[in-house]
Chains A and B, each alone.
Chain A
C-alpha cells in the first residue's frame, strides 16, 4: 500500500519512516512525501492511482489541506484515493468542514501512531 504524506514539516518524513520502519522493511507499506499541496498534486498527476491513501495536514503555507482535498476529490478519476486529514485544531467546525469536503477520516495532532497504524490496517 502506497501512502502519500503531505505536511510542510520536513521532519514528518523522518518520523514516519522511523515509526513505520518495520512495515517499510517488510514491504507492507510504502511512503512517499510531499511538503506542500502543490507538490502533492504534482506527484498524483505523475503517478496516477499509485497512492491509495493520502494523509494531509490542513494548515500549510500556499495551498491548504482543504484545497488539496477538494481538488483530489473533484479532479481525480474514480475511485479517488482515500484521504485522511490531520490538524492541530481538533474542533467541531474544522471536522465538519473536512467532512463536507469529502475527507474519509479526521485525525488530530499530535498523531497517535498506534491509532494511525490500526486505521491503516483496516484500510488495507
Chain B
C-alpha cells in the first residue's frame, strides 16, 4: 500500500500543478488576447485558492477530499475551455492534460466503486500514467511553439494596426492641410478675380480717356485746317455782298433804260442773296469750327479761387432765363443742394461756367422734351400729364482725401441731375464724343459735352462722368481737385 501511496501522492501533486498551470494559462491567454474580459480577477483568486488547498493537503490528511476537488476543478476548467470562445487558443494545452485527468478520474472512481476491480486495472493504469505524461509533455511543447507563433502573429497584426492607425491619422492631417490650402487658394482666386475686374474697368476708363483726348486733338486739328479756307469763303462772300451793292449804285449812274435796269437789278439781287446765303452758312460753319477749336485751348484763361456754389447758381439762372426768353411756356423747378462749407477752389471761371451752361441747358432741354412727349390724359389738356414736374437739381459736396494718391488732397464734387429723358447705354457711351448729338440737325453741334469733358479733365485735372436711366433721369458728376 505504501508503494501505491507514494505513486498516488506524486500523482496528486501532478493534478494540483496541472490545475494551477491551466488556470495560469487561461489567465495568460485572456490577458494577451482579450484584455477586456471579466475573468481575470476570478482566475487570480482561483490560483490563490489552489495554492492554499495544496498547502493544506500537505499539512493535513485530507487527500481523500482534495483529490475530488482537483478532479472537479480540472473537469470544470476543461468544460469552460471548450465552451468559451475566448479560450480557444488553450485547447492544445487541454488536449495535453486530458489523458492524465481522465486516467486519474477513472482510477479514483474505480477505487471508490470496486476495490477488486481497481487492483486488476491498477497495473494497466500504472502503464498508462507515463504514457499520459509523455503525451502531455509532447503536446505542451507543441502548444508552446504554436503559442509563440500566435504571439508573433499577434504582434505583427498589432504593428500593422498601429501602422494603419498612423496612416489614418496622417491622412486626416493631410486632408486638413489640403482643405486649408484649398480655402487659401479660393480666397486668392476671388481676390484675383476682383483685381482683374478692377483692372478691366480701369483699362476701359483709360481707353475712354485716351479716346476722348485723341478725339479732342483730332477735332481741334480738323478745325484748324478748315478755319483758313472757311475764312476766305466768309470774307469773299461778305465782300461780294458789298461789291453787289456798289455795283447797284454804279448801274444806277448808268444811262440805260429803266427796263434794263430792272432786269439787271433782279440778277444782282439774286446774286447778292446767294452771297448772303453763302455768308450765313459760312458763319454757321465758323461757329462750329470755333467750338471745335475750344478743344485745343491751352490755359487761355487764368485760374482763380472761385466759389463753386456761386458760379453754379449764376449759370443755372443764366441758362434758365435764356431758355425762358426763347420759349415762354418753358418751366422747370430748380433745386440747389449746396454744401455751405465748400472751400473755394482754383478754376478758370469762364471755362467752368461754359461747362455748367452746357449741362444745365442739356438738363432743361431733356425735361422739356419729356414733358412734351408724355401723352396728356384725354379731355384734360390743361393739366400737366401724369403730374410730371420737371426738376433740375445741382448738388455740391466738399471732398476730402478722395482725390489723388497723397490722400491730403481736397476737392469739390458737383452733381447735376434732371428727371428728364435719360439715355440708353448706347447714347451714354458716346455723349462725350465730339459731334455726337441727339438733338435735331441745327439745334446742337454735338460739341457741348465733349468740350465740357475737355475743360474738366484737361484744364482742371478733374473727372467727369454720367449715369442715367432711360426716361427717368440723367446725372452728371464732376469732381474738381482743389
B381 part of interface (Cβ distance < 8 Å): no
Contact with A along B441-464 (1 / 0, CB 8 A): 000000000000000000000000
Contact with B along A108-121 (1 / 0, CB 8 A): 01110100000000
Given A91-B300, A92-B299, A92-B300, A15-B228 contact (CB < 8 Å)? no
B298 part of interface (Cβ distance < 8 Å): yes
- Closest residue of chain A to B231 (Cβ to Cβ) is A110
Interface size on A (CB < 8 Å)?
14
B196 part of interface (Cβ distance < 8 Å): no
- Asked if A88 and B228 sit within 8 Å, CB to CB, the answer is yes
A11 part of interface (Cβ distance < 8 Å): yes
- Asked if B297 and A91 sit within 8 Å, CB to CB, the answer is yes
Q: Point out which of B235, B236, B299 has the most chain A C-beta atoms below 10 A from its C-beta.
A: B235
Hey, which chain A residues are within 8 Å of B234, CB to CB? 110
Interface size on B (CB < 8 Å)?
15
| Assembly CA distance A111 to B239 (angstroms) | 14
| Assembly CA distance A111 to B300 (angstroms) | 19
Hey, which chain A residues are within 8 Å of B368, CB to CB? none
- Asked if A18 and B227 sit within 8 Å, CB to CB, the answer is no
Chain A positions 42-99 with a Cβ under 8 Å from a chain B Cβ? 88, 91-93
Contact with B along A21-40 (1 / 0, CB 8 A): 00000000000000000000
* Cβ contact of B232, chosen from A15, A91, A92, cutoff 8 A: A15
Hey, which chain A residues are within 8 Å of B298, CB to CB? 91, 93
Given A88-B224, A91-B300, A92-B299, A109-B231 contact (CB < 8 Å)? yes
- Asked if A9 and B228 sit within 8 Å, CB to CB, the answer is yes
A2 part of interface (Cβ distance < 8 Å): no
- Asked if A19 and B239 sit within 8 Å, CB to CB, the answer is yes
Given A15-B235, A15-B236, A18-B239, A109-B228 contact (CB < 8 Å)? yes
| Assembly CA distance A113 to B242 (angstroms) | 14
| Assembly CA distance A25 to B185 (angstroms) | 91
B243 part of interface (Cβ distance < 8 Å): yes
Chain B positions 244-278 with a Cβ under 8 Å from a chain A Cβ? none
- Asked if B235 and A19 sit within 8 Å, CB to CB, the answer is yes
Hey, which chain B residues are within 8 Å of A18, CB to CB? 236, 239, 243
Hey, which chain A residues are within 8 Å of B297, CB to CB? 91
Hey, which chain B residues are within 8 Å of A109, CB to CB? 227-228, 231
**Closest CB in chain A relative to B284 CB, distance in Å:** 15
Hey, which chain B residues are within 8 Å of A14, CB to CB? 236
Hey, which chain A residues are within 8 Å of B243, CB to CB? 18
- Asked if B227 and A88 sit within 8 Å, CB to CB, the answer is yes
Contact with B along A5-20 (1 / 0, CB 8 A): 0000101001100110
**Closest CB in chain B relative to A72 CB, distance in Å:** 24
- Closest residue of chain B to A90 (Cβ to Cβ) is B300
| Assembly CA distance A109 to B226 (angstroms) | 12
| Assembly CA distance A109 to B228 (angstroms) | 8
Chain B positions 204-235 with a Cβ under 8 Å from a chain A Cβ? 224, 227-228, 231-232, 234-235
Q: A14-B236, A15-B239 are in contact. List 16 more A-B contacts (CB 8 A).
A: A9-B228, A15-B235, A15-B236, A18-B239, A19-B235, A88-B224, A91-B297, A91-B299, A93-B298, A109-B227, A109-B228, A109-B231, A110-B227, A110-B286, A111-B231, A113-B235
Which residue numbers of A lie inside 8 Å of B, CB to CB? 9, 11, 14-15, 18-19, 88, 91-93, 109-111, 113
**11 contacting pairs across A/B (C-beta < 8 A):** A9-B228, A9-B232, A11-B232, A15-B235, A18-B236, A18-B239, A18-B243, A88-B224, A91-B299, A91-B300, A109-B228
